[in-house]
Each structure stands twice: as C-alpha cells, then as structure tokens.
Amino acid sequence: MSSPRIPLKAKVLFVVLLALLVVLAYLSAGLINNLLEGLIGGDLQTRFGTPVVEEFLKSLGLLVLTLIYLKRVRLGFLESLEVNYMIGFLLGGLFGVLENVFTYEFFTGLRSVTSLIHALGTGIIGIGFYFVISEGVKGVKKLFSTYLIAILIHSTWNNLVSIESIIPLATMAITITIIGLTTFWYSYYRYQVKK
C-alpha cells in the first residue's frame, strides 16, 4: 500500500498526541489502581490487577493510531511490524519513566528496569496492533494474545518484587533488558533496511 508523505507538522502533532496519551494513561492508571486496591486489596491488585490496567492504558496511543489508519488515513509507517513494536516500546518506556519519577520518586537499580518492562510489554502489544492493521478483524485474536503476553510479563515482575527475592528479580531484569533493547534495535535496523 502506498501512503502519502506526512508533513513535519503532522509528525510533530502525532508525537505530542502520543506523549499526551501516555501522560493520560499514567494518571488514569494511578486512579484506577487506587480504586481497585480499595476493592480487592493492595497485594492482589499489585500482583494481578495493575498489569491488566497498565498494559491496556499504555497502549492507547497505538489504539488511536490504528483507528486513524483503519479510517482510511493510511499512515504507511504503521504497515511495518517493526515500527509498531518501536512505537509501543517508546510509549511503554515513557510510561515507565513517569512511574519511576512521579510514583516511586527514584530511578536507580532494579527500579529502573521497570521502564524496560513497560517498554517491552507495550512493544509486544504494538505487534498485536500491526496484525489488526494488516489482517483486519482476524488480527484481533493476535492482539489479544500479545496483550496477555504483556500482562504475564508485567505480573511476573510484580510477583517477584512482592516476594522480595533478589536473584530471580535480577535474572528477570537482565533478561528483559537484553530482550527489550535487542528487539528494539533490531526492529530499527530492519525498518531502515526496508526503507
């Protein structure tokens, strides 16, 4: 599919819109998580509820881009699995940075890895949105599957943090860092080669 060239102003507008959606997602996640914590308890919410809420909210930017695309505004860059992953990765990473800075008020050690976990999860969901773009309704199952994978990764991390076991936590942190960053840079490389 050919796509029209996107003017610089429109590109800047997309970036600003996506950043605002991440800020909205972060603020909404705090409110929803607090509400659910009151209903089901803090431990259960942290371990299982938070991943469901945050993985959905972090991917709102991808949802908006996909809806724009499906409304016949062909944003050609969205026809690439790699680009969808990279957009998701960046959105999730920004969410993680906001969470570390404003919720936990520090960004060191294993806490800094949460930004990469958020990034990887939303990047994986970005792949799901690619399938919706490329396959239409048939791609929704794949989107749902990627959402579940992201929830599983996030929930695993939260459970390891809850039991305060440093060895499995550090192992997962190293693994997530390697997988997330390698996949991001590989996606970037593949996209550049395709251009």
Mean pLDDT of 104-110: 72
* pLDDT at residue 158 is higher than 70: yes
Among all chains, which residue has been given the structure tokens 């929930």? 155
Least confident of 14-23, 29-38, 102-111: 102-111
Residue-level pLDDT at 1: 44
Share of the chain above pLDDT 70, in %: 92
Helical pair 81-98 and 50-58, crossing angle rounded to 10 deg: 120
Residue-level pLDDT at 13: 82
d(CA 144, CA 139): 9
pLDDT digits (tens, 9 = 90+) for 165-192: 778 878 888 888 888 888 888 887 877 7
d(CA 114, CA 107): 9
Helical pair 139-163 and 166-194, crossing angle rounded to 10 deg: 150
* pLDDT at residue 43 is higher than 70: yes
Its pTM stands at: 0.85
pLDDT digits (tens, 9 = 90+) for 141-152: 999 999 999 999
pLDDT digits (tens, 9 = 90+) for 115-142: 889 999 999 999 999 999 888 899 999 9
Average pLDDT, the chain: 85
Contact, 144 vs 129, CB < 8 A? no
Closest to 120 (Cα-Cα) out of 36, 51, 48: 51
Mean pLDDT of 74-79: 72
Contact, 31 vs 40, CB < 8 A? no
